[in-house]
């Protein structure tokens, strides 16, 4: 067989490393000790919110697992939220905002494009280390139990893939919630939403539980 240009091209493609399609990158957080997979979500030209996710390295797609979420937001951000299923409706929405030098977080659930309700299927623990405000940003670090798996309206159980990419979405509002010190506060609609592909396979932490304890 003659070595054609097509064979040559195929051979070159086959020798290239597999290119991963996720939009996120690895971030080693020296403050908390977690290894996060992070994504900078643009909410305005030249401005972004950073969403960082850490999971136990033992997590599998067959059982629910906890996740640590860290959000870093410019001070002008009134509230922001992460939609774990990549849409507004029928998945856990972890919403957070600054409260003085600390931050408050809550999990909500929307059945339509209307104000979401408090979701009792997930629990949040805000971690003391990694939650603060400085001259430019507020940041929250939290553990969520119940965010990475959920049951949709048809009864279908979704468990986010801890060894691959998951489609996530965010929402941003410049307006603070009406009662920032309360996790059950109401808040208004967002100005911006978008979604991305987040690599969980690089978010694994062998010492996940010990780091949660250390940072609590």
Q: Using CB under 6 A, list all residues that contact ligand HEM.
A: 81-83, 87-89, 93, 95, 108, 113-116, 169, 171, 187-190, 193
Name the residue number minimizing CB distance to ligand HEM.
81
Least distance in Å: CB of 140 to ligand HEM? 14
Nearest to 164 by CA among 203, 137, 132: 203
**Closer of 11 and 114 to ligand HEM (Cβ):** 114
**Closer of 36 and 79 to ligand HEM (Cβ):** 79
Nearest to 91 by CA among 69, 107, 114, 77: 107
**Closer of 187 and 208 to ligand HEM (Cβ):** 187
Supply the Cα-derived Rg of the chain in whole angstroms: 19
- Strand duo 67-74 + 47-56: pairing: antiparallel
In three-state secondary structure terms, 186 is: coil
Tell me the residue ranges of DSSP E strands in the chain: 25-28, 35-44, 47-56, 67-74, 79-83, 93-99, 102-109, 117-118, 123-126, 132-133, 137-145, 149-151, 157-159, 165-173, 192-199, 204-205
In three-state secondary structure terms, 215 is: helix
Taking a C-beta distance cutoff of 8 angstroms, is the pair 50, 80 a contact? no
**Closer of 31 and 191 to ligand HEM (Cβ):** 191
User: Length of the chain in residues, anyone?
Assistant: 216
Least distance in Å: CB of 12 to ligand HEM? 39
**Closer of 22 and 93 to ligand HEM (Cβ):** 93
**Closer of 87 and 145 to ligand HEM (Cβ):** 87
Least distance in Å: CB of 94 to ligand HEM? 7
Rounded distance between C-alpha atoms, residue 141 and residue 72, angstroms = 9
């Amino acid at each position: 067989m003659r070595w054609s240009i097509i064979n040559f091209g195929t051979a070159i493609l086959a020798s290239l490393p597999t290119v991963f399609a996720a939009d996120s990158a690895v971030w080693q957080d020296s403050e908390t000790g977690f290894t996060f997979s992070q994504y900078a979500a643009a909410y305005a030209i030249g401005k972004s919110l950073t969403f960082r996710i850490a999971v136990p390295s033992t997590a599998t797609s067959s059982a629910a697992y906890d996740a640590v979420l860290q959000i870093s937001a410019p001070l002008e951000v009134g509230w922001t939220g992460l939609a774990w299923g990549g849409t507004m409706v029928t998945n856990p929405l972890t919403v957070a905002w600054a409260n003085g030098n600390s931050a408050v977080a809550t999990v909500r659930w929307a059945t339509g494009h209307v104000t979401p309700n408090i979701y009792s299927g997930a629990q949040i623990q805000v971690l003391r280390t990694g939650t603060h405000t400085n001259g430019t940003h507020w940041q929250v670090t939290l553990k969520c139990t119940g965010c990475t798996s959920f049951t949709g309206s048809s009864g279908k159980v979704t468990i986010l893939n801890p060894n691959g990419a998951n489609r996530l979405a965010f929402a941003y509002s410049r307006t603070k919630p009406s009662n920032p010190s309360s996790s059950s506060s109401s808040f208004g609609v967002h100005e911006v939403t978008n979604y991305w592909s987040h690599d969980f396979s690089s978010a694994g932490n062998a010492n996940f539980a010990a780091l949660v304890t250390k940072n609590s």
